[in-house]
């Protein structure tokens, strides 16, 4: 698992969302590195990390713990956005002894309905022999992708000798999409997992990803859950209101620096 590291102190792992890479939370990393040892990871099938067939949350959590062990990190705070938030929560549930606290940004520990068919179709049909990023952008727009998402996706497009290629493993993400939108911890079963440590659900006021319908699932799995909404944002709240987002994350980590 590829990562970049900065700062020193108690470790904090930053995990991006679907279609992103470690640079997505770079501004937060810069804010934290004066007080913390910050690791920004590229998830499997994203950025500069390995292309792997299994992106289930249990598999990625094991990879993340293996990275911590490799770096001789006993425990860490984990901050994740969207899919990255699910990875953070899965790691806390499966390996609570490795996690000091969690910040889950605009995501809940539940399964979601399919909402990326248009994006995947536009990406699959993109003519990679295009000579200009403007052509790629227009293709995504013409195929129903909104401009903010299209600009975000283009960050994962890089030049090669014949035109462009995706840095991310598009076919791998499509194959693993049911895992990505799903959730493994069934609170209807009698032996579902819980994490007793501190966790902050930092979310948009838009109820698309975090809303009252998910409260029971959140509290069952994370009995110490705190929740804060950032007004005037959508799903990319860390990019839309970075000053507020970074401050709230920093304050939460400072309050729970030892995991208490």
Q: Of the candidates 46, 50, 41, which has an alpha carbon nearest to the alpha carbon of residue 22?
A: 41
Active-site residue flag, 82:
yes
- Do the Cβ atoms of 206 and 235 come closer than 8 Å? yes
Q: Is 255 helix (H, G, I), strand (E, B) or coil?
A: helix
The yes-or-no answer on residue 250 being catalytic is no
Instruction: Compute CA distances 87 → 103, 128, 157, 160, whole Å.
Output: 11, 31, 24, 31
State the DSSP code for 232. Answer: T
What is the CB neighbour count within 10 angstroms for residue 162? 9
Kindly state the helix (H) or strand (E) to which residue 85 belongs, with its residue range: helix 83-94
Active-site choice (77, 81, 82, 256): 82
- Asked if 41 contacts 66 with a C-beta cutoff of 8 angstroms, the reply is no
Of the residues 46, 77, 203, 235, only one is catalytic, namely 235
Q: Bridge partners of 200?
A: 103, 226
Token pair for residue 182? 């799903």
Give catalytic residues, as residue numbers.
82, 235
């Amino acid at each position: 698992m590829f990562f970049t590291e900065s700062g020193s102190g108690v470790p904090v792992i930053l995990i991006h969302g679907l279609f992103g890479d470690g640079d997505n939370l770079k501004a937060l990393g810069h804010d934290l590195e004066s007080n913390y040892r910050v690791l920004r990871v590229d998830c499997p099938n994203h950025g500069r990390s390995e292309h792997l067939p299994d992106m289930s949350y249990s598999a990625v959590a094991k990879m993340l713990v293996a990275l911590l062990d490799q770096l001789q990190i006993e425990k860490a705070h984990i901050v994740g956005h969207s899919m990255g938030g699910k990875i953070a929560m899965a790691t806390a549930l499966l390996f609570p002894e490795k996690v000091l606290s969690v910040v889950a940004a605009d995501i809940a520990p539940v399964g979601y309905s399919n909402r990326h068919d248009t994006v995947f179709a536009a990406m699959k049909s993109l003519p990679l022999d295009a000579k200009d990023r403007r052509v790629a952008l227009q293709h995504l727009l013409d195929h129903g992708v909104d401009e903010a998402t299209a600009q975000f996706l283009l960050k994962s497009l890089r030049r090669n000798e014949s035109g462009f290629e995706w840095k991310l493993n598009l076919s791998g993400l499509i194959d693993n999409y049911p895992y990505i939108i799903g959730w493994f911890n069934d609170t209807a079963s009698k032996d579902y997992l819980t994490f007793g440590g501190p966790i902050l659900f930092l979310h948009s006021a838009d109820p698309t990803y975090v809303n009252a319908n998910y409260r029971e699932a959140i509290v069952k799995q994370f009995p110490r859950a705190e929740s804060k909404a950032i007004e005037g944002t959508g799903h990319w709240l860390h990019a839309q209101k970075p000053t507020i987002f970074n401050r709230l994350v920093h304050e939460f980590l400072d309050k729970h620096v030892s995991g208490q």
